[in-house]
A and B are shown apart, each in its own frame.
Chain A
Amino acid sequence: MLRVLEPGLFTTVQDLGRPNAIASGVPPGGAMDRFAHRAANLLVGNSEGDATLECTLTGPHLLAERSCVVAIAGAEFEIRINGQVAPTWTGIFLGKGDHLAFGARRSGGRAYVAVAGGIQADRWLGSASTNLMAARGGMNGRNMKAGDQIGVAREASRPAVSGHHLPKRLHPDYGNHTLAAVVGPHLKRLDPDSRGLLFKAAFKVSREADRMGYRLDGPRLGTSGDELLSFGLTAGAVQVPHGGQAILLMADHQTAGGYPVVATVVSASMPVAAQLVPGDELHFAEVTLDRAHQMRLSLANALDTLREPAR
């Protein structure tokens, strides 16, 4: 259906992950930016859990071997179809033989490509998400390479319609790199100075940043107390290991660990976190659970507009 002419830097199949596998030590995985992943799917009439392509920093060049409807959401890239600039966050029709090419990246780190009918992929432990460590899921458990053929999971029951669009006012505020976070279970292990810095200081995404997590440059956070017994972790957790360099856990995080968790980024801020790239500055802002709930509903409502019939 779609032929990969150039794979881009790191393009993998992702969906909403495999939460059931974490009890076996398998990372939950799934799209880093779940908002953009869901939006791309809804824009082409898919279910939000269908598999998409997650394209990192540089995007692919794809050839439509059959006509289809696609949508690209997330990081802002210059997208061209047969050389003509095409819109993002919009369902677009590709005729047989059309070339879809990612160009310059303007902002963000990860874009999602959805195809009407969903991307056909290997499923592993209930998810099509690619797990490189186990070499399972997605495209034979690996990232895309030139020559790969991307199939469609199922024929649409009704023709997919192009032209659906999600206006920018309904996107997460990707330009605002302040991540809303709830106080973590071990905040009290931070020394008083560090506790003050956590929600004030600027942090920067270091070069050690991938789907597992981001090491953050910034103030060294001092902790005290006995070693913790290991416990289950979650994406968004801000861990502080012995050296004092904070780590923000992302989709492919280690499932358990024993470092203090001093804050957890709320689900509504994770799409913003997912779009950060090495060198980006960020802040943590303390929010209540009520505020986190409102933020989550606001994003869910934005996606609900895509479930309405197109005009």
Chain B
Amino acid sequence: MRPPRSVRPASRVRLHPLGDTALLAELGTRLDTALNTRAIALATALKKRRDVRQAVAGYAGVTVHFDPDQTTHETLGAAIKRLAAKRPPMAEPGRLHRIPVVYAGPDLEEVAARLNLTRETIAELHSKPIYRVFLVGFVPGWAYLGPLPEELELPRRQVPRTQVPAGSVAIAGRQTGIYPLPTPGGWHLIGRTSVKLFLPDRDPPCLFRAGDRVKFFAANL
């Protein structure tokens, strides 16, 4: 269990233009649940603005797409600083998803050897935490989940695969995720799931949203 967090002073926001119609508001540079919670709250607040077309929360910042005919980087930047200085509203706990995984991915053997763990221990360690959805993006339905237990930390594969099957459960660094579609990928494939993450006929078209919680459990075929 985490100790109760003391109220920390609002850190400075760093604003970077992304061309003339978007900007990146950086709240920090660490993989940190509190920062991510603030980023999601900031994105939610910004989306309500008339001049904002879309605001996407990243791990520790927000990418804001705006209408340049309605605002400027300065005006929006001032609003972002104001919003970021406010204490974020109490974060909702996020929906909990339970995802069955068959721990028999093509990289499981190699990961076990490199980490000097048994396959069973890997499954146990991977399915133990309740992960947080830090960010949805990259390809449709992909979600960056974490933090992964330190014991499972590995750098990405040297040579990425050109095609990873949909439903592959993968790890890299302190992150884990599920490939929603067949795509190229450089993460280690330790398992697979039948749960569909990309739901093209729903709106929003993905199962996970930023701030949701995910618990994996070992399943048989």
Given contacts A230-B58, A232-B62, A267-B21, whether A185 and B142 have CB atoms under 8 Å apart is no
- Asked whether B24 lies within 8 Å of A185 as measured between CB atoms, the reply is yes
A264 in contact with B17 given A229-B59, A230-B137 (CB within 8 Å): yes
Residue A63 is within 8 A (CB to CB) of chain B in the complex: no
- A264–B58 alpha-carbon span in the complex (Å): 18
Minimum distance in angstroms from B76 CB to a CB of chain A? 12
- Supposing A21-B205, A231-B24 touch, asked if A133 and B181 sit within 8 A by C-beta, the answer is yes
Partner of A230 from the list B20, B29, B59, B181 (CB cut-off 8 Å) is B59
Residues of B within 8 A of A266 (CB): 19-20
The docked-state distance in angstroms from the alpha carbon of A85 to that of B37 is: 60
Spell out B's residues near A (CB within 8 Å).
16-22, 24, 26, 29-31, 43, 53-54, 56-63, 65, 68-69, 72-73, 135-142, 144, 173, 180-181, 198, 200, 203-206, 210
Contact call A24/B205, Cβ cutoff below 8 A? yes
Confirm or deny: A236 has a beta carbon within 8 angstroms of a beta carbon on chain B: yes
In this complex, how many residues of chain A approach chain B with their Cβ under 8 Å: the count is 45
Q: Taking A25-B136, A134-B200, A233-B63 as given, write out 20 further A-B residue pairs in contact, using a Cβ cutoff of 8 Å, ordered by the A residue number.
A: A19-B53, A22-B54, A22-B65, A23-B43, A23-B54, A23-B210, A24-B205, A134-B198, A182-B17, A184-B16, A185-B26, A229-B58, A230-B59, A230-B137, A230-B144, A231-B59, A234-B65, A256-B135, A265-B19, A267-B20
**Residues of chain B with a CB closer than 8 A to A296's CB:** 20, 68
Which chain B residue shows the least CB distance to A295?
A: B20
B141 and A25 contact, CB distance less than 8 A: yes
Q: Of B18, B73, B138, which contacts A25 at CB under 8 A?
A: B138
Q: Are A289 and B204 in contact (CB under 8 A)?
A: no
> CB-CB < 8 A to B68: which residues of A?
267, 293, 296
The answer for the CA separation of A276 and B172 in the assembled complex, in Å, is 36
A292 touching B20, Cβ below 8 Å = yes
Decide if A25 touches B19 in the complex (CB within 8 Å): no
Give chain B residues whose Cβ lies under 8 Å from the Cβ of A232: 24, 56-58, 62-63, 137
